[in-house]
Amino acid sequence: MTSNKKAQKNKIGFVGLGAIGLPIATNLIKAGFQLRVHTRSRQAESSKYLKGSQPCESPAETADRCDVFMLCVSNEIAVENILFGYKGAAESLKKGSIVIDLSTISPYKAQAFAAKLAKKNITYIDAPVTGGTEGAMNGSLTIFLGCDNVFLTKIDSILYTIACKVYPFGEVGKGQEVKAINQILVAGSYAAVAEAIALGQELHLPMDLVVEALSQGAASSWALANRSQAMLKDNYPLGFKLELHHKDLNIALKIAEDSGLVLPITKKVRDLEEELIKEGYNEDDISVLRKSIKKTK
């Protein structure tokens, strides 16, 4: 890791101050980085947590004179607009600068963005995160990187400010491929916990004790430990939006299709999520999958 003194000299442009992006930007400021910030609504730019940062009117202004440009937005359309749209960051990014894209997007798009920026001598890496809002707030995210170990040394002071674990996977797009696998596992584990909770409640079991007991053995999972209470209480405060996970599963299924694979469990969970989104649960945490488990009579 690089020294804190070196870290403080980095000027970072940061776009996307949502549920994940705002706490990430907050942690970077706390660590002494100089931030220029922008978000589409402009409201979060004035957050008390971003005291000392410089609000900017556009991605281009945000990227101006920055060594590193970071973005954390909801989909690849947003990423493309921020980088290459009207007053996009590519207009003002300087040669030799680095773009760190924390968003979850298609690996194909990540590769296309990297190729386009490379013509300007700008390095783009995909760096999707996992850990939810809790991890973003605590600086304990895990990051999957589309770069090699050598390149990681250039940005480790930034990444280890917002994450506990950082894994480089060699080349652009590979971080997104690993994130797709991550979201497949999330889908299966959340759906399994939802079904288990539903059955336990229907059997009138003491569910707090059941969860404690199950957490000691092979059935233990992050979803069981961290989201079972939400399902038991039928209350789903935001950790990670259902609609975003649904988007991620569509990416994963496209990657699988292109690889010649059929993923029946992932497809089933994707379809369950789609129905819940139609019912208006798109802004709730993924644990709202519990509501997809219904009685037949």
Alpha-carbon gap, residue 51 to 90, rounded angstroms: 26
Residue range 129-152: mean pLDDT, rounded: 95
Q: Is the pLDDT assigned to residue 2 strictly greater than 60?
A: no
Q: Where does the pLDDT of residue 4 fall: very low under 50, low under 70, confident under 90, or very high at 90 and above?
A: very low
CATH topology (fold) of 177-292: N-(1-d-carboxylethyl)-l-norvaline Dehydrogenase; domain 2 (1.10.1040)
Q: Residue 9 — pLDDT band, cuts 50, 70, 90?
A: low
Average pLDDT score, the chain? 95
Task: Please provide the CATH number assigned to the domain covering 4-172.
Answer: 3.40.50.720
Pairing of strands 68-71, 98-101: parallel
- What is the residue type of 72? C
292: number of Cβ within 10 Å: 18
pLDDT score recorded for residue 1: 41
Q: Is 179 a catalytic residue?
A: yes
Q: Which residue has the higher pLDDT, 238 or 99?
A: 99
Q: Compute and round to an integer the Cα radius of gyration of the chain.
A: 20
Q: What is the pLDDT of residue 275?
A: 98
Q: What are phi and psi of 170, to 5 degrees?
A: 100, -45
Q: Give pTM, 2 decimals.
A: 0.93
Angle (CA) 293 296 297, round 5°: 130
Reduced to 3 states, what is the DSSP secondary structure of residue 99?
strand
The vertex-276 CA angle with 274 and 281, nearest 5°, equals: 120
Q: How far apart are CA 244 and CA 21, in angstroms?
A: 14
Is the pLDDT assigned to residue 57 strictly greater than 70? yes
Q: Give me the count of residues in the chain.
A: 297
Residue 7: pLDDT over 60: no
- State phi, psi for 33 to the nearest 5 degrees: -75, 150
Tell me what the mean pLDDT of segment 221-226 comes to.
95
Could you state, in order of their start, the residue ranges of all structural domains in the chain?
A: 4-172, 177-292
What tens digit of pLDDT does each residue of 245-255 get?
999 999 999 99
**Residues 195-216: what's their mean pLDDT?**
98
- Catalytic site residue from 179, 241, 247, 291: 179
Distance between CA atoms of residues 253 and 204, nearest Å: 37
Long-range contacts of the stretch 291-295 (C-beta < 8 A, 24+): 291/234, 292/194, 293/194, 293/195, 293/198, 295/202
Q: Which pLDDT score is estimated for 296?
A: 86
User: Can you tell me whether residue 33 is helix, strand or coil?
Assistant: coil
